[in-house]
Every structure is written in C-alpha cells, then in structure tokens.
Homo-oligomer: A and B are copies of this chain.
C-alpha cells in the first residue's frame, strides 16, 4: 500500500512574495506615492499588531502610511469627524478603521468612509458594486483566496465552489468573486444540514467560520482545492477550519498558517494602489 500523494501547497509565502514584487514595480512606476491611513481607537494589542504588519508591508512596497491612534473611549462623533477629514484630504488614498470600536456602530463608520478610499471594501457602495458588476474595492481576504487559486491555475469556470461561512468580510464577497469567475457557488453556514454531503461536491472548498478542524478528510472531494481561512487559537497554537489530514485527499491545500492569512495583508496594500490609481490615474 502506498500513501496517497500529498496535496499541492497553495503557498501563501510564495504567492504573497510574488504579489509584493508586482506591487513594488507598479508603485515604482507611479508619479506619486499612494498614502494609506490607519485609524485605531485605544491600545488593543491585537489591533496594534495587525496595523503594524500592514504598515511594514506598505513601507516595503513604497506606499506611504500613517496611523492615527485615538484615545480609548473615543465616541462616534470624534471618529466620524476624523473620517470626514480623511475623506476630504486629497493626499489620502486609503482609509482603514480598525473595527469594532466599543460603543460605536461599525455600520455607521463603514458607511461614512468615502467608497473611493474604502480599502476594506465594506462600505455598502463597494458591496453593491461588487454584486452589480461595477468598479468595487473588494475585501482583502477573498481577493487573496482568488489570487492563490489563480497562481496555481486552479480552474473556476463551470466548477462547483462551496464557501462555508457567510460573513461580510469573507464568505459573501468571496461568493461574489467566484460567481464573477463563472463558478457555480454555494454559500453554507451554521444552519446548513449535512455539510459533508455538500462539501464533497466541491471542486473548490473554502472554509471561513473559525471552527477548528471542521472540514475533515471524509468531507472533501478527491483532487479538489481546499482553502482554509478560519483561525482559532488553541493552547497557543493556531488551528484552522481544515483538518490537516485533508492533505491526503485534496489536490490543493493552503497551509495554516502560511496560506490565506499572508495574502490578506498584501491585498490591503493592493487595494490602496487600486484606489490611488482610480482617483489619481496611472
């Protein structure tokens, strides 16, 4: 008996490095340097860490960035006034507010960001353009998932894609992107019955719910592409939504960590470049 061949790694390190090189070249060719502004409220360490990693990457790529830290307890009024100021500042290309902010309705903040500078892609105008076929800014994680699939030439048109998870940040926008690429798309979620029967039909399976090892080898179609977006901390270790044993069944699999997460940061910077080009030209 021979072991099944291991799935090809959908390697976030390799693909994000290639994407960073492309971004560097693209930014170097501009007559200006795009600017991304982060807004944080208070000193949440996780939030500070995420902003720092994006700032570092921005610097590597040649995108200017700065971070405005508002004191803990800042309310909606002050936050929205800052957003309005950044909207009006012609030298700002991208605005990224780390949400949630305690006591502030996130929908209110997202709706206030100029859609042309909304590098998170969560303003309703961008969501609407994504689903209607307009020039949207699209959330970074789904963009990263599709970039991984494209890098490894995983076909999408006419294929069955199953997205497990229906968040505004990942599941729903990813469904829109896969549909644009002519996949037959199913959105599954916590209320889905017999998830395994559904996922076994998927040529492309993306898990984005944050339930450790939800996707077991029995739930995966042989040779399919499986992408893990879930992320849970368990006794200090990072655990994904996909059981590592899936590598023995799938044709393609993202490592966790080292897969989709690395792509997300890059796509935030890519969105800043997209936003800058649309506003200022190439």
Beta-carbon contact of B132 and A168 below 8 Å: yes
The answer for the CA separation of A166 and B182 in the assembled complex, in Å, is 10
9-residue interface stretch from A41-49, A119-127, A219-227: A119-127
Cβ of A104 under 8 Å from chain B? no
Cβ of A193 under 8 Å from chain B? yes
Cβ of A109 under 8 Å from chain B? no
Interface size of A by CB at 8 A reads 33
Contact with B along A68-110 (1 / 0, CB 8 A): 0000000000000000000000000000000000000001000
Count the copies.
2
Q: Which residues of B contact A112 (CB under 8 A)?
A: none
Cβ of A191 under 8 Å from chain B? yes
The answer for the CA separation of A125 and B179 in the assembled complex, in Å, is 20
Contacts beyond the supplied A124-B134, A133-B168: 5 A-B pairs with Cβ under 8 Å: A123-B128, A124-B128, A131-B131, A132-B168, A184-B186
Beta-carbon contact of A134 and B158 below 8 Å: no
Cβ of A33 under 8 Å from chain B? no
Cβ of A192 under 8 Å from chain B? yes
Beta-carbon contact of A166 and B179 below 8 Å: yes
Q: Which residues of B contact A192 (CB under 8 A)?
A: 158, 184
